[in-house]
């Protein structure tokens, strides 16, 4: 398994398993198989509602001695309703209880678009019109609370997700601890070059969710073409005797971008891990570089009324 070093020299496995929309026995079976095959990076979030299942699988593996906690990298995220400083640690502690862990390896601000916390445990508060009810939290104060989570050893690393470069820079200007990681939508159609260049200048690792274009997500913008069916990608898959998914993932990891593909299918889980020890020719890599066209599958329409939503800035 390949790794990428974070700013504190922690090792983030470059291929992880995304768990968004996976729950119950389906998730437990997929995750247990993934760990068996060698996955050591698990990506989840409090809002996914699946941390308890992940905790069960990991606890069983630790108990039977087939996994060591120090070899595992677990990322979770604090949802928009818990961005007020007093609630940040509460969110992380809930995740730790669900995961049956004393710490996570990474905790992220799930998004900069805060939502009202009504105190009822509702993670997606809506009004009578069915609209998400927004709240504008001071991200600098939220980040201070994240630094406390780090200092209290609840998380080995802290970072952000779905942030623009300007939002990250605002944090960096005041932070004691610079974010270690930006998790963002990134794939061949959306290579995030400007955002990656900025993060590189700050020593922030960019990791990719939806690296395959999230073909199964109901929230994907259906107006855009399916990335896995792109004719250039299919052509390269035939040439290298790989799957389209393997071509897409290999391209990203060879650009030092950790990937978090989601799958419950054992064959695909096996394929998604087999993307490290081979490379494409410079000419073929150029074909993929040229596919960058700014297609973003997740626009988060619910957040467009929020003052921290900047549609024309990469995030």
The residues assigned a catalytic role are: 48
Spell out the residues 6+ positions from residue 209 whose beta carbon is closer than 8 angstroms to its own: 18, 20, 43, 161, 183, 184, 185, 186, 260
Would the CA dihedral through 223, 225, 227, 228 be positive or negative?
A: positive
- Rounded Cα distance between 194 and 102, Å, is 36
Q: List Cα–Cα distances, 28 to 22, 61, 84, in angstroms.
A: 9, 12, 32
271: tokens are: 């394929």
Confirm if 208 and 185 have CB atoms less than 8 A apart: yes
Confirm if 203 and 181 have CB atoms less than 8 A apart: no
């Amino acid at each position: 398994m390949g790794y990428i070093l974070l700013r504190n020299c922690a090792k983030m496995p470059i291929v992880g398993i995304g768990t968004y929309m996976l729950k119950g026995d389906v998730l437990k079976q997929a995750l247990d198989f993934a760990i068996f095959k060698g996955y050591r990076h698990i990506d989840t979030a409090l809002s996914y509602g699946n941390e308890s299942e992940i905790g069960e699988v990991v606890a069983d593996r630790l108990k039977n001695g087939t996994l060591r906690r120090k070899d595992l990298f677990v990322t979770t995220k604090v949802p928009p309703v818990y961005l007020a400083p007093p609630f940040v640690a509460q969110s992380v502690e809930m995740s730790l209880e669900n995961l049956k862990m004393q710490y996570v390896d990474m905790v992220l601000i799930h998004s900069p678009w805060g939502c009202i916390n009504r105190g009822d445990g509702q993670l997606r508060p809506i009004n009578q019109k069915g609209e998400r009810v927004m709240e504008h939290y001071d991200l600098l104060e939220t980040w201070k609370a994240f630094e406390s989570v780090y200092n209290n050893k609840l998380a080995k690393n802290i970072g952000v997700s779905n942030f623009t470069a300007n939002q990250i820079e605002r944090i960096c200007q005041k932070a004691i601890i610079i974010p270690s990681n930006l998790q963002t939508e990134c794939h061949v159609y959306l290579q995030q070059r400007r955002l990656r260049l900025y993060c590189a200048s700050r020593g922030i690792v960019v990791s990719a969710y939806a690296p395959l274009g999230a073909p199964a997500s109901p929230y994907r913008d259906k107006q855009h073409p399916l990335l896995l069916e792109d004719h250039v990608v299919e052509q390269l898959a035939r040439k290298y005797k790989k799957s389209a998914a393997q071509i897409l993932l290999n391209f990203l990891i060879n650009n030092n971008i950790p990937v978090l593909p989601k799958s419950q299918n054992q064959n695909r889980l096996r394929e998604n891990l087999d993307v490290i020890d081979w490379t494409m020719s410079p000419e073929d890599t150029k074909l993929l570089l040229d596919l960058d066209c700014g297609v973003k599958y997740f626009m988060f329409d619910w957040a467009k009324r929020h003052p921290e939503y900047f549609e024309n800035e990469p995030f």
